């Protein structure tokens, strides 16, 4: 084993979609980062994720603005990377089953429409024309045509591959086990399972594991695991043209309650990925538990079958449970600390990390290259939590 000290310009911890995106956008700025991943690329949350690039599920304000910018970056990203990651601008459809849900969704989207969200209201017949497999009991819905889906693992691999072509060093099986930084010293000393690395800038892109990385430097960050489960149904003919979100999706996503009841924890998203229909998902706070729960998955499939009766003829071929990097104010944590600017956070994206990966990479690269960003992200600073009560 070689325990020699390696010097880098900037170290990125975590080889998920954030670490890969940051590395790519750094190389576009002419900076050659060293990315350290403890396992293989995309083995964390990004490898067990839905692929929706939705705008309609973003709260109005900075989250919506970041998502719009990120979705715009996605439009040309496959060409830029010369890599097919399954980008499809299919739109998101929110089917509604009763007048009450119709009103609730309309109320949710009103401020988003003022922020530029495009929306088409569908009658029952129009909806059935768009999605012929939709159940007859659905009374109508809302289509959001700007939205798209991708394959998250392929996005992460494409970004990392391109970053490497442009000069980044990507190290896998390289677990960060300690970090040292002394006030007044210019470099971080990062100890890993593959030896020591030094750099003047350190980026924490370790998703739900980012609190552990921060703790090496005596910082506490409020990233809390929020479990989600997915069912992958056996392949068959395509049942969907669009991404489907349930009408209660928005309420569950932005509710901080600890649900025990299955029905209350469901934020329904149904996605066609190749020949597979992926049925998700749930939101529960159960620590780092990544064990699929058979009864919850059965309930999810049952709920999805209400919208798509043809799913009843398909078996579930894979069950997945994973954890999202949740923050108490539902916003990601981006940038350096006011009193420790060289330790940069890029974490806390909860259920939005796939959508927000390009803009996160771009903004973090701007911070590294110029010390500032082209848009104001002070509301996302890691220092915002200092004064706040956030422990769950
Ligand atoms: C069920 C589910 C569905 C989702 N659906 C969507 C969706 O449709 N759209 C969307 O935008 N988002 C979705 N998300 C959220 C999205 O998946 C996450 O926000 C995103 O994957 C977070 O990416 P990341 O790179 O920050 O974290 P990760 O992908 O977890 O990457 C962190 C990496 O850090 C590495 N690491 C940890 N500790 C160390 C260490 N000590 N040393 C070195 N490396 C380390 C890990 O191995 C891991 O590879 C979903 C999430 C779930 C769970």
DSSP per residue over 48-74, as a string? G---EE-STTSPTTHHHHHHHHHHHHH
Domain holding 251: CATH number? 3.30.9.10
Question: Per the domain annotation, does 87 fall within a domain?
Answer: no
For residue 3, the model assigns a pLDDT of 56
Confirm whether 41 is domain-assigned.
yes
Atom in ligand 1 nearest the alpha carbon of residue 192: 42
Specify the long-range contacts of residues 292-300, CB closer than 8 Å, at least 24 apart: 292/229, 292/319, 292/320, 292/321, 293/229, 293/321, 294/319, 295/262, 296/229, 296/262, 296/265, 297/229, 297/231, 299/262, 299/263, 299/266, 300/229, 300/231, 300/266, 300/268
Residue 64 lies in a domain: no
Distance 20 CA to ligand 1 centre (A): 11
26/105 same-domain check: no
User: What pTM did the predictor assign?
Assistant: 0.96
Q: Report if residue 70 sits inside a domain.
A: no
Residues 18, 162: one domain?
Answer: yes
Question: What confidence score (pLDDT) does residue 1 get?
Answer: 47
Asked whether residue 76 is domain-assigned, the answer is no
Question: Which residue among 190, 209, 321, 357 is best mutated to probe the pocket of ligand 1, counting the most ligand atoms within 8 A of its Cβ?
Answer: 209
Per-residue pLDDT, 296? 94
355 in contact with ligand 1, CB cutoff 6 A: yes
Q: Whose CA is nearest to atom 15 of ligand 1?
A: 351
| Residue 134 CA, ligand 1 centroid: distance in Å | 31
**Other residues' Cβ atoms within 10 Å of the Cβ of residue 62:** 17
Instruction: Calculate how far, in angstroms, residue 17's C-alpha sits from the geometric centre of ligand 1.
Output: 7
User: Ligand 1 atom 51: the closest Cα is on which residue?
Assistant: 49
pLDDT one-digit tens code per residue, 243-260:
999 998 888 898 887 666
Q: Is the CB of 332 under 6 A from ligand 1?
A: no
Domain boundaries, position 103:
92-145+224-326
Instruction: Give the number of domains in the chain.
Output: 2
Residues 176, 274, single domain; the answer is: no
Q: Residues 187, 295: one domain?
A: no
- 78 part of a folded domain: no
Query: Residue 14: CB within 6 Å of ligand 1?
Result: yes
Same domain, yes or no: 352 and 322: no
Nearest atom (ligand 1) to Cα of 205: 26
| pLDDT at residue 256, as a whole number | 80
pLDDT at 260: 60
Ligand 1 neighbourhood includes 382 CB (under 6 angstroms): no
174 lies in the same domain as 205: yes
Are residues 168 and 231 located together in one domain of the fold?
no
Handedness of CA 209, 212, 216, 219 (dihedral sign): positive
Rounded Cα distance between 51 and 85, Å, is 10
What atom in ligand 1 is closest to the CA of residue 271?
Answer: 8
Does any domain span residue 366?
yes
Shared domain check, 238 and 130: yes
CATH of the domain at 361: 3.50.50.60
> Of 303, 326, 349, which residue constitutes the final position of a domain?
326
Burial of 331 (0-12, 13-18, 19+ CB in 10 A): buried
Residues of the chain with pLDDT under 50: 1-2, 392
Q: Taking a C-beta distance cutoff of 8 angstroms, is the pair 142, 93 a contact?
A: yes
pLDDT tens sequence across 53-75? 999 999 999 999 999 999 999 99
Q: Write phi, then psi, for 130 (nearest 5 degrees).
A: -70, -45
Spell out the alpha helix ranges (H) of the chain. Answer: 17-28, 62-75, 77-81, 99-114, 124-130, 152-165, 210-215, 249-253, 262-265, 294-307, 353-370
Final residue before a domain boundary, out of 278, 310, 326: 326
Q: Do 234 and 137 share a structural domain? A: yes
- Among residues 326, 358, 376, the one where a domain terminates is 326
> Residue 311's pLDDT is what?
97
82 assigned to some structural domain? no
Tell me what pLDDT residue 79 has. 98
Residues 128, 266 share a domain: yes
Compute CA 44 distance to the chain's CA centroid, rounded to the nearest angstrom.
Answer: 11
Question: Do both 280 and 378 map to the same domain?
Answer: no
Cα 107 to ligand 1 centroid, rounded to whole Å: 31
Same domain, 160 and 294: no
pLDDT in tens, 188-235: 999 999 999 999 999 999 999 999 999 999 999 999 999 999 999 999
Q: Could you tell me what percentage of the chain is helix, strand and coil, using 3-state DSSP and rounding each to the nearest 5?
A: 35, 25, 40
Backbone angles phi, psi at 229, to 5 degrees: -120, 150
- Atom 32, ligand 1: residue with shortest CA distance: 206
- What is the CA(324)–ligand 1 centre distance, in A? 7
């Amino acid at each position: 084993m070689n325990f020699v000290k390696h010097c880098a310009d900037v170290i990125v911890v975590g080889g998920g979609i954030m670490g890969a995106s940051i590395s790519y956008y750094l190389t576009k700025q002419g900076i050659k980062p060293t990315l350290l991943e403890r396992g293989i690329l995309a083995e964390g949350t990004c490898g067990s994720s839905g692929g929706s690039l939705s705008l309609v599920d973003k709260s109005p304000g900075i989250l919506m603005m970041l998502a719009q910018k990120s979705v715009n970056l996605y439009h040309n990203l496959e060409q830029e990377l010369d890599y097919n990651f399954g980008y499809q601008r299919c739109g998101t459809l929110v089917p509604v089953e009763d007048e009450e849900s119709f009103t609730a969704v309309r109320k949710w989207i009103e401020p988003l429409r003022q922020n530029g969200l495009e929306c088409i209201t569908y009658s029952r017949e129009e909806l059935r024309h768009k999605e012929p497999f939709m159940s007859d009991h659905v009374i109508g819905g809302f289509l959001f045509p700007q939205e798209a889906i991708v394959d998250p693992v392929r996005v992460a691999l494409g970004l990392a591959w391109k970053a490497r072509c442009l000069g980044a060093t990507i190290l896998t099986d390289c677990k960060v086990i300690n970090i040292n930084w002394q006030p007044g010293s210019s470099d971080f000393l990062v100890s890993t399972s593959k030896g020591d690395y030094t750099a003047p800038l350190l980026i924490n892109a370790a998703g739900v594991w980012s609190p552990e990385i921060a703790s090496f430097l005596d910082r506490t960050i409020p990233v809390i695991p929020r479990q989600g489960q997915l069912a992958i149904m056996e392949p068959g003919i395509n049942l969907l043209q669009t991404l489907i979100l349930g009408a209660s999706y928005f309420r569950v996503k932005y509710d901080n309650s600890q649900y025990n009841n299955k029905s209350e924890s469901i934020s329904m998203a149904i996605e066609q990925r190749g020949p597979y229909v992926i049925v998700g998902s749930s939101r529960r706070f159960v620590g780092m538990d990544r064990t699929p729960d058979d009864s919850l998955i059965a309930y999810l499939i049952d709920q999805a079958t209400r919208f798509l009766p043809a799913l009843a003829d398909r078996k579930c071929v894979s069950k997945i449970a994973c954890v999202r990097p949740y923050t108490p104010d539902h916003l990601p944590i981006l940038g350096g600390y006011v009193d420790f600017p060289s330790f940069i956070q890029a974490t806390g994206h909860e259920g939005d990390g796939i959508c927000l990966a390009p803009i996160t990479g771009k903004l973090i690269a701007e911070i590294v290259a110029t010390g500032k960003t082209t848009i104001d992200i002070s509301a996302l600073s890691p220092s915002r939590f200092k004064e706040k009560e956030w422990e769950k």
